[in-house]
Structure 1
């Protein structure tokens, strides 16, 4: 059975020419939303995903705006609202060394190189220069770990473990 990965949620339409406003959940929006790529729309009303081909993509404020081939009119895409865009596992591409998909990182246990357990990664933020991993500790507190080589020393996605060497003040 095919595994599916969420790459975005359609939250609204944009203009009258069939653009949809997407909150992106993908690690690589420029690559994933490239014209010609296929995305699958999952909606509550239907058990079968709708295959869509990206016609155009642009960023606007905090959203990605997409137009799909054959759906260049607001009346055709209005029903897509609240739909989830996904890709099958077979569409995931090989990554470079030290690159990971979000679904591989979320859920990993974070510990220091000295063996102190910090917590589990619950979310990944992308504020700019580098990703920031949100780690929820046993006490419920969240710790923000920058994904930089000075801090993150080892990532083992098979064992779901990340080893860090915290900078001064990072964990306090």
Structure 2
């Protein structure tokens, strides 16, 4: 996820890869470890970057197939309609998300945070997040360099969403 994926009040959850079959189903890549998470949402919002269209769709059916989801959305009824939404970003409204535990954050809340060292020196801004399996990695773009920081308690000392800032311990290799 990077800065271009963040929309106010919406959270990116996946991407339309391509049509599936002739009836308008969509093959979707999802950004959640649980493929059935999408069943929690009755509506998905698709953003077609090429056409500049952002539209809400009601979810009719979801199937898991070969590491992707096959999703049927109301109003997309044939392959041609599905093709028009290929490569679109998929969002849910922030109000539809479950509450988080203390110390948990959505990627969209981390992207754009100003990053400072424990000594108060400005390091840069979080511009991207990579999921590696064990820990996420934050890409920080600063005025002089870009660095990658592991999202662990050893490195990330404080996240303050109200002030839109993060305090980090800079590893010795930087």
> TM-score, normalised on structure 2?
0.75
1:77 pairs with one of 57, 76, 82: 82
Maintained 8 Å contact 1:9/1:83: yes
Contact 1:6 1:87 in 2 (8 A): yes
Which residue in the other structure is 2:5 paired with? none
- Which among 155, 161, 165 is matched to residue 161 of structure 1? 165
Residue 58 in structure 1 maps to residue 64 in structure 2: yes
Residues 1:144 and 2:148 are matched in the alignment: yes
SS at match of 1:135: strand
8 Å CA contact 1:36–1:55 kept in 2: the answer is: no
| Number of aligned residue pairs | 165
User: Is 1:124 aligned to 2:129, yes or no?
Assistant: yes
**1:115 Cα deviation from its structure 2 partner:** 1.4
CA shift, 1:7, in A, is 2.6
1:3 to 4, 9, 15: 9
Distance in 1, matches of 2:166 and 2:27, equals: 34
Q: Which has the higher contact order (CA 8 A, sep 6+)?
A: 2
Superposed CA RMSD: 3.0
Q: What are the superposed Cα offsets for residues 140-170 of structure 1, whole Å, 9 maximum, x if unpaired?
A: x21001000111111111111111122321x
| TM-superposition CA deviations, 1:67-114 (whole Å, max 9, x none) | 225668645533322333222232122111111011211111111111
Contact 2:25–2:73, Cα closer than 8 Å, also in 1:
no
User: Which residues of structure 1 form unaligned runs of 5+?
Assistant: none
Q: Is the 8 A contact 2:118 2:169 kept in 1?
A: yes
Q: Which whole-Å CA distance do the structure 2 matches of 1:154 and 1:54 have between them?
A: 41
Q: 5+ residue gaps in structure 2?
A: 1-7
Tell me, yes or no, if the aligned pair for 1:35 and 1:56 is still in contact at 8 Å: no
Q: TM-score, normalised by structure 1?
A: 0.76
Give the 3 Å change call, closer, same or farther, for CA 107–12 of structure 1 in structure 2.
Answer: same
